Chains A and B, each alone.
Chain A
């Protein structure tokens, strides 16, 4: 296996970009990443695109070839592959590319992630997002993505004494971080009352407990470490890439307050990187709902099971705390264009490790971790990055 480096990054501003089409945002992120790595089209060996549901959002399948075509790569005939694992599509696309470079199959790969969600109405988008759940045994009875996460929240409160306020503090903290990120969908701080008084979506979770509906794209360029200096003075190393799965339906698990897939992927990732959870100083975790971040920071080993709410309330997960979680604003404030999210997490960590994160910069970080989740934890992808 070859060591793999990230030598270029690109990201669009997330939000409702009605003036731009799916292909335009996808290409914008890709070209930014190529410029960052000073690549030309002839250098590229392959393209991977993370996308959850272009078929239902914009009625367009076959999007990997589409992105390659409109990026001007059609005449180079490079392999272009779409990767899908619901909300974990982006992280999984990065992992597929990582494996292709590590194995020696390809040298230079562009990994993109993109989703255009705002072309359909809110009810339709809700239904599409909820299709990550088991359609035959969850959704058909009226379970939605927010209500499945609400059941996790209620059970966590019951089992561990986690409070509604502690859960809401995830949104407050991530909006504070998002206010420092010029690419975030929401760049405005909110207070605890705003979260607690926001309209109910699925009790106990309100509007401000849920990541928004977003358009956006992100891209990264991967290459073998021994070629990396050709493209950048500051290559970032991928120290670990791990993935795990679990039952599709939440009710098939013995305990819904832990995502075993996250725990398994993290365990493998720490072993690959040769580090422990305490060595990680920055992490981008999958806060599609506020409660999801609490599960994530426990399952990744940053805090004891049941202590995630208290740690958040005590400010330990904010920039300046013991571990900076979601410096980008997370899915909650940066936005959550499903297929783009896992790639955007990597972009944020690369910016942090390069020291290019502006007002949200965390000083002196050596190890950074990304956790990307599909559905209610049926897929989890964990990457660990490090400075060279």
Chain B
């Protein structure tokens, strides 16, 4: 992914910024301008919030067949995490053995290198999760 395309979402990736609908209270991540439930009623009422970083594993996989950018990391655990605020996101789980990961496991977010562009290229940072 090009640097600019990645950089634009850095604030959200570093700080887990989500939006909360001022009309119905639904939390969305990444931030959205319009609530998928309330549509027009939510316009101008989408409030930025920080996710706590705590969540649990909703589902996961261990990736053996990885794209080039992740070749050095394989095998790695990719998971859908259900955050304490109810919203879900996709991230890697690290600092534990693949076999320890299970649905329902409590995890917390940490800032790590998530990839780099080409050999010796720009390093991207973002969230990964560790056992809580």
Contacts and interface: CB of A to CB of B under 8 A. Distances in A.
A126 B67 contact: yes
A140 B8 CA distance: 13
Given A136-B9, A251-B80, A142 B61 contact: no
Nearest to A199: B64
Nearest to B74: A142
B53 interface: no
Interface string A138-177: 1111111011101110110010000000000000000000
Given A140-B1, A154-B60, A251-B80, A146 B115 contact: no
Interface residues of B, number: 37
B14 interface: no
A144 B63 contact: yes
A95 B76 CA distance: 40
A126 B70 CA distance: 12
Interface band, chain A = 35 or more
B24 to A, nearest CB: 14
Contact of A150 (B61, B90, B124): B61
Contacts of A247: 36
Given A155-B58, A202-B61, A256-B59, A144 B88 contact: no
Contacts of B30: 136-137
B78 interface: yes
A130 interface: yes
Contacts of A146: 61, 63, 65
B126 A141 contact: yes
Given A142-B114, A199-B64, A158 B70 contact: no
Interface string A103-123: 000000000000000000001
Interface of A: 123-124, 126-127, 130, 135-144, 146-148, 150-152, 154-155, 158, 199-205, 247, 249-252, 256
Given A127-B68, A143-B90, A256-B59, 17 more contacts: A136-B5, A137-B89, A141-B78, A141-B90, A141-B92, A142-B66, A142-B114, A146-B65, A147-B78, A148-B61, A152-B59, A154-B60, A199-B64, A201-B65, A203-B62, A203-B98, A256-B58
